[in-house]
Amino acid sequence: MRNTRISLVLGDITEEDADAIVNAANSTLLGGGGVDGAIHRAGGPSILRDCKQLRASTLKDGLPAGSAVATTAGNLAARWVIHTVGPVWSDTEDRSRLLSSCYTESLRVADALGAASVAFPAISTGVYRWPVEDGARLAIEAVRRCDSGPIDVRFVLFSQRAYDVFSNAVREI
Residues that bind ligand AR6 (CB under 6 A): 12-14, 24-26, 32-36, 38, 86, 121-128, 156, 158-159, 162
Between 86 and 150, CB nearer to ligand AR6: 86
Between 24 and 107, CB nearer to ligand AR6: 24
> φ and ψ at 8, to 5 degrees?
-115, 135
Tell me the closest approach of the beta carbon of residue 79 to ligand AR6, in angstroms: 18
Between 88 and 113, CB nearer to ligand AR6: 88
Tell me the closest approach of the beta carbon of residue 9 to ligand AR6, in angstroms: 9
- Catalytic entry in 12, 17, 19, 36: 36
Between 35 and 148, CB nearer to ligand AR6: 35
Measured between alpha carbons, how far is 172 from 19 in angstroms, rounded to an integer?
28
Tell which residue, 112, 111, 113, 107, has the closest CA to residue 155: 107
Query: Is 164 a residue of the active site?
Result: no
* Residue 11 and residue 156 in contact, taking contact as beta carbons nearer than 8 Å: yes
Sign (positive or negative) of CA dihedral 136, 59, 29, 73: positive
* Inter-CA distances, 66 with 88, 95, 103, Å: 11, 10, 8
Tell me the closest approach of the beta carbon of residue 165 to ligand AR6, in angstroms: 10
Tell me the closest approach of the beta carbon of residue 63 to ligand AR6, in angstroms: 11
Measured between alpha carbons, how far is 125 from 122 in angstroms, rounded to an integer?
6
Provide the annotated active-site residues.
36
